[in-house]
Structure 1
């Protein structure tokens, strides 16, 4: 075991302070360089991430402008009567512009079957002593339900509602206070599509619409509970359908009847080109473009650590080149009402005209320049794909920065190991020095003591 507990203990010198100062002088410059490098890389990585995000949004907005249906889409606008919504309408690009008056005479509905009076006292009444099956049908739909022996009315209700292949039959029990009524409802609409319930066990006749031996069962469908077609009128012309959804009664449009008209009330339908949808997509593109320009100006600005960055400078130039290109038959964006401000931000007006007026007067011109083949949106998509797509320049740059950050971390670990090794070396050297100085001091003290004991030797105590 060493006799010296700390460096300098024997000599009395501040050797530990010397060691610490030596290590500090060696470590701090290297650490500062690594900190500066890491800080620069972190800022660069953050900027690349922001650019990728902004460019991705710009690419998405440009992609929407290339959709073929954008400029040809038709929009249905419905003015409902005072009593509330009676129809909803969706129109496709195949629809023709026009104005129509809609009247809902009757809604399509499914049928309802109710058990006979006095058939069941309560939901706990046992229906059958032997197992059997019930088959439900309506229109082209059907399913068969196996019923266990000794099932109650409630058991059968639960079995119907939980059947996996149930096409849309709902069973309910209504307690009137004097008896229990079983009710079957079918969601299959259309005249002639009334619910049928048959069985293979006469014990089920009371809960069937058709008896096992033929004839009517105990479940009856009243006239008011029969399945019906939907009936609507378009400008006084009647149309009938087995559901409430009418497709292409007006070409390219789908009309859904929601509620029967009260009295003679009607809804007013207008079908027109969806200029609002086009304008919304243009607004989205302009916003995304300007956000990108603002971000690039900030990243490459005078106070930024990335001032003069080649990627930022090149990208700004390429974006501007796309905007100022010539499209179609020699047209530019500025011919269609666009403009650029002093900061390079895209505007939807210029001294001559504006985008809104051009869209109203000549939408095909906007379609050709913006959404057409090799138009603005297409060129913008192609440009941006080279930056944000798989293997794009920003992805490669991000990967390169992350690799550099990994090397910085490895350098930190290497520096820590070197400092630890240097500390051990210095401790060993200075402990040897401490021991030597301590020995010399001891010898000096011994010599001084011997001299003090010699005859005639006097010591100056001043």
Structure 2
């Protein structure tokens, strides 16, 4: 058991001595551990910031890749301000232009009716025997089983609730004594020659069919087509185009039109397809801002420590990654790639300078409005590219061998799951774990060290105490000897 108060026997301040020795041992090691942990934390944070800046920059590259810079805006001047007659959207490959569009008709589904006076009320029996009806339109079909004694209203419900019903609606209209009760069937399948057809497997159901049992002739049954299914029709610059539904795909190449109302006579809609220059400029500026932020972050992380004139005083601390050469290497590779020529943009637009983007004295991207040496300014070159080489900008960035894929290849070797930055972070985290284990091991050591010191100095204290006691006894005995005092 450790002695809690050393020096009690000898009178020496051994407690203070042990405390000082333990403190010196602890502070020396803890200082090294704290310094190591601070450096590791700083480096880990620095690599995290670097990876974040690189990832953000890479995200802006993604927004410039493929055909994302070929965006088109599609606008429509409707014939009237109170109604929408058609809508449109264009893909990135649609050619800009203005088009006059007239909506002549909308696509319709077929409407079928039973014969006049075929039924007197909804409770009339439609068939005395059982059978099956098959409903067909445009390659789709479903069956309705008719039971013996089924009423007209029960038949209506059976049609509407049939499994696989592709859009057939059955209704009953009570038209009065001269017409009777009518069964009306409407189909949502539109397009010419897509009329609803009803066939049966029992001649007793001919009154509910468009084809009599055993016949191949439409109209031979008791249900007739009141309104035939029809196509939608539009005129684009006077050219007639039809569709079996209300959507026209590629009537204007790479554009989808959806019509919802017939336009008034002599008052057509105007469709305008334009390049989306504003969106392209915003994406390119986001790319430039992300690069500039990356450069600022790298400069902050790699700045050197500043020493005062006395050669000793630290005026400013260095960046968290100032001693790591990989960071500057990353920026060097990115900058070198950006300064390259790219054949993907063609002779007109084969580098960033041709697009109007240059690097200022701080190495940051800019589109300058200043003319130098009689050449066009960056702003003039940029506006000219948007106006006259819009799709070439997309090629410069997004085509195979363009800026996006070239930079992505450079950055991915650092930011991917098995990239160099991730490996760096993993290594630093492992070192931090080791630092924690070293600290725990040291805490166990310092407890043992203190215990050892207390045992040693406790023994010393006991020995000194005994020696002092013996000395005092001897002095006392000698003092009592005869004539000892003289």
- Give 1:318 shift: 3.0
Identify the residue that residue 271 of structure 2 maps to in structure 1.
269
Q: Does 1:118 align with 2:121?
A: yes
Q: Unaligned 5+ residue runs, structure 2? A: 175-180, 215-219, 305-316, 371-375, 481-486
CA distance 1:239–1:376, change in 2 (3 Å): closer
Tell me, yes or no, if the aligned pair for 1:246 and 1:256 is still in contact at 8 Å.
Answer: yes
- What are the residue-to-residue correspondences of 1:22-171 with 2, within 5 Å? 22-67=21-66, 69=67, 75-81=73-79, 82-92=81-91, 95-111=94-110, 118-120=121-123, 135-144=134-143, 163=163, 166=164, 168-169=166-167
Secondary structure at the counterpart of residue 188 of structure 1: strand
User: Over residues 217-241 of structure 1, what are the superposed CA-to-partner deviations in whole Å (9 max), with x where a residue is unaligned?
Assistant: 6x88753xx5432121212332221
User: Over residues 41-100 of structure 1, what are the superposed CA-to-partner deviations in whole Å (9 max), with x where a residue is unaligned?
Assistant: 222222222222322332343345452x45666553323331333222233455444321
Give 1:379's match in structure 2, choosing from 387, 406, 420.
Answer: 406
TM-score normalized by structure 1? 0.73
- Give 1:289 shift: 1.5
Tell me, yes or no, if the aligned pair for 1:7 and 1:434 is still in contact at 8 Å.
Answer: no
CA distance 1:154–1:118, change in 2 (3 Å): closer
- Give 1:346 shift: 1.0
Identify the residue that residue 349 of structure 1 maps to in structure 2.
368
Q: Distance in 1 between matches of 2:128 and 2:465?
A: 111
CA distance 1:425–1:118, change in 2 (3 Å): farther
CA distance 1:233–1:35, change in 2 (3 Å): same
Identify the residue that residue 301 of structure 2 maps to in structure 1.
299
Secondary structure at the counterpart of residue 78 of structure 1: strand
- Give 1:140 shift: 0.9
The CA RMSD over aligned residues, in Å, is 4.8
Q: Does 1:188 align with 2:200?
A: no
CA distance 1:209–1:420, change in 2 (3 Å): farther
Secondary structure at the counterpart of residue 239 of structure 1: strand
Tell me, yes or no, if the aligned pair for 1:133 and 1:147 is still in contact at 8 Å.
Answer: yes
Tell me, yes or no, if the aligned pair for 2:53 and 2:293 is still in contact at 8 Å.
Answer: yes
Q: Distance in 2 between matches of 1:323 and 1:101?
A: 44
Identify the residue that residue 338 of structure 2 maps to in structure 1.
323
Identify the residue that residue 460 of structure 1 maps to in structure 2.
none
Q: Distance in 2 between matches of 1:427 and 1:200?
A: 108
Aligned residues: 436
User: Over residues 182-220 of structure 1, what are the superposed CA-to-partner deviations in whole Å (9 max), with x where a residue is unaligned?
Assistant: 9866432223323445566899899x5559968656x88
Q: Distance in 1 between matches of 2:127 and 2:87?
A: 47
Q: Does 1:314 align with 2:317?
A: no
Secondary structure at the counterpart of residue 409 of structure 1: helix
TM-score normalized by structure 2? 0.70
Identify the residue that residue 312 of structure 2 maps to in structure 1.
none
Identify the residue that residue 440 of structure 2 maps to in structure 1.
413
